[in-house]
């Protein structure tokens, strides 16, 4: 009986010691996290935030790439090169259709697809044999501005600059609005994904314009092509006389 009583007295004390050791261990694990947070993201928040704001020269946002990639040179872009210690080599060049520029005394250099930082390095490398320390600065003077095209049954079909956030409905208005021969219930938006793939989207502009909001109206991207097709009545109108044409035409058909 005495042995049993001693055992019962020792057990609670041993449990308290084990609990104290558990609390001490948890406290040490918390202190090991420099940010004060526990979990999978502890200690990596600063790096993740820094990487999120970085600009990069490649990648596709729709595929998980950077949201703001650096601009890369294209044919017809105009670049200006200036040298700190050799101003006689300063020059303004236009990227040729084949993607090359002709550097003064240094020959042809392919620049298509390079961002300005890479282009600067290419220029300095090209002049290494001509200048002792070719320190060059480059600037983009002119470039092919983002644009979209509207074709088909609109007042002024053509190419327009994409200067701000623009939707398909706004693009149609910019292009002179719809004509009487338009079938605005089947407006087509063409968007090039890559050299081999073009994405198409069919928009019922007629339905959207009758709604109080334009939530379904697509926002344009550079290079988009908006096409407004011709309605069925206008296709056969030239074969019909005016009296017979009025029998087929009604506001619900447009």
**DSSP helix/strand/coil, 2:** helix
Q: pTM to 2 decimals?
A: 0.51
CA distance 90 to 9: 92
pLDDT of amino acid 100: 96
For the sheet with 158-161, list strands across it: 158-161, 147-152, 225-228, 187-194, 197-203
Question: What single-letter DSSP state applies at residue 119?
Answer: H
Mean pLDDT of 79-89: 92
Convert the pLDDT of each residue in 104-142 to its tens digit: 999 999 999 999 999 999 999 999 988 888 889 999 999
Structure token digits, residue 44: 């990596």
Q: What is the DSSP string of 58-118?
A: ---GGGT--SSBPP---TT-EEEEEESS-GGG-EEEE--TTSEEEETTTEEEE-TT--HHH
Tens digit of pLDDT for each residue in 10-30? 444 444 444 444 444 444 444
């Amino acid at each position: 009986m005495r042995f049993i009583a001693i055992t019962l007295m020792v057990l609670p004390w041993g449990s308290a010691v084990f609990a104290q050791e558990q609390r001490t261990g948890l406290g040490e694990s918390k202190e090991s996290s420099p940010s004060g947070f526990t979990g999978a993201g502890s200690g990596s928040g600063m790096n993740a935030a820094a990487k999120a704001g970085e600009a990069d020269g490649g990648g596709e946002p729709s595929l998980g790439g950077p949201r703001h990639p650096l601009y890369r040179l294209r044919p017809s872009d105009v670049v200006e090169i200036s040298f700190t210690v050799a101003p006689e080599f300063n020059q303004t060049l236009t990227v040729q259709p084949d993607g090359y520029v002709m550097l003064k005394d240094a020959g042809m250099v392919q620049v298509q697809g390079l961002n300005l930082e890479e282009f600067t390095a290419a220029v300095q490398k090209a002049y290494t044999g001509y200048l002792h320390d070719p320190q060059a600065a480059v600037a983009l003077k002119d470039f092919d501005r983002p644009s979209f095209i509207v074709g088909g049954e609109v007042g002024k079909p053509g190419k327009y600059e994409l200067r701000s956030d623009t939707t398909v409905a706004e693009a149609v208005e910019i292009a002179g609005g719809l004509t009487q021969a338009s079938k605005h219930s089947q407006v087509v938006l063409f968007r090039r994904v890559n050299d081999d793939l073009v994405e198409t989207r069919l928009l019922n502009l007629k339905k959207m314009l009758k709604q109080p909001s334009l939530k379904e109206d697509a926002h344009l991207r550079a290079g988009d092509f908006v096409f407004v097709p011709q309605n069925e009545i206008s296709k056969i109108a030239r074969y019909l006389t005016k009296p017979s044409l009025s029998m087929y035409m009604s506001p619900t058909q447009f």
